[in-house]
Amino acid sequence: MTSLREGLPWQARGGRVGLMGIVNVTPDSFHAPSRAVGTDAVRGRGGVLVGEGADVLDIGGESTRPGATPVSAAEEMDRVLPVIEDLHRAFPDVPLSIDTYKAVVARRAVEAGAAIVNDVTGGLLDEEMPQAVAETGATVIVGHIRGTPATMGEAPDYDDVVAEVTAELSARLEAFRAAGVSEDRLWVDPGIGFGKGASASRALLFGLEGLAVLGRPVVVGLSRKSFLRAALKRAGLGESSSDERLEPSLAAAVLAVDRGAVLIRTHDVAPTRRALALFEGMQG
């Protein structure tokens, strides 16, 4: 298994920001081009993303879009384990991430070659997740959500979204620490769009630097999400499907990095890499 204990891999190579390329082994993820069914298709998408400069590949076997239908752990493992094994053989130097909130799936995925567990619920939906992460030695991205993927579209109200998300992430981090996960293996994701409406997601993005008090690397996933549709509409640019949200995603990625994100989860590695390189170049 690729070890991430020596620091963030892209920073060790001189990069400031890493990119996590999305590989969805699902038939129903919201952005169709990210879907890859079958080992050959997954290897092909993985190869494209690595060629474009992905620092991490994130493999998901269950859609977590709002209103998504849950799948069993057995079905999820049938989808992800063969392709994780294949991608680990094909790209041994690229850390693989398993996008799951189920402890049993996380354990088996790490055995298959994953180095990172990306839990969008931060262990809330499976109380065994902290112990599973501790025992496997994986790095964990502790995500924030209110509700479940099936119900999060109801978008609860926040009085102060940045403060509340920070406090709730702090509590979830403590759960992983208590299970024995070392500090260097704890990353956080504020969960833009996960139990947050468009206004809360926008406020969280603009206030992202507030998460610095947690002292952990910040991962942000905002690629082509629906809160960008609301922003486009407010700007007088009309409605949009996920296929029409590339430019807003790039702008949001730059904004996230400017406010402290060190890893951007994206469907579009090459254009995101160019946008961030331009941003960093303009800063000198």
Give the ranges where the chain is alpha helix by DSSP (H): 9-12, 39-52, 73-90, 103-112, 129-136, 161-179, 198-206, 227-234, 246-258, 269-282
SS3 266: strand
Write out pLDDT tens, residues 176-212: 999 999 999 999 999 998 989 889 999 999 999 999 9
Q: Residues 6 or more apart from 208 whose CB is under 8 A from it?
A: 162, 190, 218, 220, 256, 259, 260, 261
Residue pair 42/79 in contact by the 8 Å Cβ criterion: no
Average confidence (pLDDT) over 142-150 = 85
Residues annotated catalytic, as ranges: 225, 265
As a whole number of angstroms, the distance between CA 175 and CA 99 comes to 19
Compare 268 and 225 and report the one with higher pLDDT. 268
Which of the pair, 225 or 277, is modelled with greater confidence? 277
Q: If we measure between CA atoms, which residue out of 78, 161, 114 comes closest to residue 2? A: 114
What pTM was estimated for this model as a whole?
A: 0.89
Do residues 217 and 263 make contact, with C-beta atoms less than 8 angstroms apart?
yes
How high is the pLDDT of residue 36? 53
Write down all domains in the chain, each with its CATH number in brackets. Answer: 14-282 (3.20.20.20)
Looking at residue 13, its pLDDT comes to 72
Q: Which two tokens stand for residue 275?
A: 């946008």
Distance of CA 202 to the CA centre of its chain: 17
Mean pLDDT over all residues of the chain?
87
pLDDT value of residue 1: 37
Rounded distance, CA 279 to CA 257, Å? 9
Is 6's pLDDT higher than 70?
A: no
Per-residue pLDDT tens digits for 53-82: 999 999 999 977 666 678 899 999 999 999
